[in-house]
Structure 1
Amino acid sequence: MASRTYMQNPVCLIENTQNGKLVTNKEALKLLSDINETVVVVSIVGFYRTGKSYLMNRLAGKPQGFSLGSTVQSHTKGIWMWCVPHPTKRNHCLVLLDTEGLGDVEKGDENNDCWIFALAVLLSSTFIYNSVGTIDQNTVDKLHYVSDLTELIKVKGNDEDDSDEEIDLLKVSPAFVWVVRDFTLELKIGSNCVTEDQYLNHALQLKTGNGRKVMEYNLPRQCIRNFFRSRKLFTFVRPTTDQNLHQVETLPESQLEAQFVDKCREFCHYVFTQSEPKTIKGGHRINGRKLAILAKTYIDTITSGAVPCLDNAVTSLAKIENTAAVADALTQYKKQMEGMVKLPVENEKLTGIHTQCQKEAFDLFMKRSFSDRDQEYNKQLVAELQKHYFEFCDKNEAASMEMCTNLLESLSSEMEKKLRDGFYARPGGYQLYDEDRQKVISQFHSTAGKGNKAEDALNEFNKRKALEAESVLQADKLLADKDKELAVEKERAAQAEQEKKAQEERLRSVEELRKNDEITHQENVQQLMKKMEEEKENMKREQESALESMKREQEALLEKGFTERSNAMENQIQTLKDQLETTKMHNTVESVGNIIRGVLDTGITAYSSYQTMKLCSKSTKI
Structure 2
Amino acid sequence: MNVMPMEAPVCLIENTADGKLKLNEKGLKILSNIKVPVVVVSIVGLYRTGKSYLMNRLAGKAHGFSLGSTIQSHTKGIWMWCIPHPTKPGHCLVLLDTEGLGDVKKGDKDNDNWIFALTVLLSSTLVYNSMGTIDQYAVDNLHFVTELTELIKVKSKSEDDETLEFVQFFPGFVWAVRDFTLDLSLDGKKITEDEYLDHALQLKQGIGKKVSEYNLPRECIRTFFPTRKCFTFVRPISGNDLRNIENVPEDKFDPKFLESAHRFCEHIYEDSQVKTLQGGIKISGQVLGSLVKTYLDTINSGAVPCLEDAVTLLTNSENTAAIADGLAHYNERMEKIVKFPIQSEELSKIHSLCQQESLQVFLKRSFKDENHTYFQQFMTELIKIYEDICWKNGEKSVEICNKLIKKLSADMEEKIANGVYAQPGGYKQYCEDRSLLQEHYLCAPGKGIKAEDVLAEYLRQKQAESEHILRMDNMLTDKEKMLEQEKERAALLEQEKKANEEAIRRTQQKLEDEKINQEKNIKEIRAKMETEKENQIKELEKTMESTMKEKVALLEQGFAKKSEFLENEISRLQKQSQTVEASSNSYGGILQSLLPQVLNTACSIYQTRALTASFKK
| TM-score, normalising length: structure 2 | 0.94
Query: Equivalents in 2 of 1:416, 1:53: separation in Å?
Result: 86
Match of 2:577 in 1: 580
User: How big is the shift at 1:235?
Assistant: 2.0
Match of 1:75 in 2: 74
Match of 1:456 in 2: 453
One-letter code of the match for 1:245? L
Match of 1:596 in 2: 594
* Selected match of 1:216 from 210, 213, 216: 213
Which range moved further: 97-106 or 483-492? 483-492
* Selected match of 1:479 from 452, 458, 476: 476
User: How big is the shift at 1:381?
Assistant: 1.4
* Selected match of 1:394 from 378, 391, 401: 391
One-letter code of the match for 2:54? L
Distance 1:210 1:436, change over 3 A: same
One-letter code of the match for 1:311? E
Instruction: Kindly tell me the number of residue pairs found equivalent between the two proteins.
Output: 616
Query: Equivalents in 1 of 2:18, 2:290: separation in Å?
Result: 24
> 1:8-38: CA deviations, max 9, x gaps?
2222221212222211222222223333332
User: How big is the shift at 1:125?
Assistant: 0.8
Distance 1:263 1:338, change over 3 A: closer
User: How big is the shift at 1:162?
Assistant: 5.8
Match of 1:39 in 2: 38
Match of 2:354 in 1: 357
User: How big is the shift at 1:582?
Assistant: 3.0
User: How big is the shift at 1:194?
Assistant: 2.5
Distance 1:478 1:285, change over 3 A: same
Query: Equivalents in 1 of 2:416, 2:61: separation in Å?
Result: 90
One-letter code of the match for 1:450? K
Query: Equivalents in 2 of 1:290, 1:318: separation in Å?
Result: 10
CA contact (8 A) 1:343 1:399 kept: yes
Match of 2:245 in 1: 248
Q: What SS is found at the alignment partner of 1:96? A: strand
Where do residues 6-405 of structure 1 align in structure 2 (5 Å cutoff)? 6-157=5-156, 160-161=157-158, 163=160, 165-166=162-163, 168-405=165-402
CA contact (8 A) 1:528 1:592 kept: no
Unaligned runs of 5+ in 2: none
One-letter code of the match for 1:149? L
Query: Equivalents in 2 of 1:344, 1:2: separation in Å?
Result: 36
Distance 1:254 1:468, change over 3 A: closer
* Selected match of 2:521 from 524, 531, 539: 524
One-letter code of the match for 2:91? H
Say yes or no: does 1:489 pair with 2:465: no
Query: Equivalents in 2 of 1:36, 1:156: separation in Å?
Result: 28
Root mean square deviation of aligned Cα: 2.3
Distance 1:443 1:110, change over 3 A: same
Distance 1:556 1:82, change over 3 A: same
Which range moved further: 16-25 or 185-194? 185-194
Query: Equivalents in 2 of 1:230, 1:598: separation in Å?
Result: 46
CA contact (8 A) 2:44 2:51 kept: yes
Distance 1:2 1:351, change over 3 A: closer
User: How big is the shift at 1:251?
Assistant: 2.9
Which range moved further: 108-117 or 33-42? 33-42
Distance 1:262 1:342, change over 3 A: closer
User: How big is the shift at 1:202?
Assistant: 1.8
Query: Equivalents in 1 of 2:437, 2:504: separation in Å?
Result: 26
CA contact (8 A) 1:131 1:179 kept: yes
CA contact (8 A) 2:164 2:224 kept: no
Unaligned runs of 5+ in 1: none
Identity of aligned residues (%): 51
CA contact (8 A) 1:15 1:25 kept: yes
Query: Equivalents in 2 of 1:73, 1:169: separation in Å?
Result: 34
Q: What SS is found at the alignment partner of 2:371? A: helix
Distance 1:71 1:421, change over 3 A: closer
User: How big is the shift at 1:599?
Assistant: 5.3
CA contact (8 A) 1:423 1:429 kept: yes
* Selected match of 1:438 from 432, 435, 439: 435
Q: What SS is found at the alignment partner of 1:248? A: helix
* Selected match of 2:418 from 417, 421, 431: 421
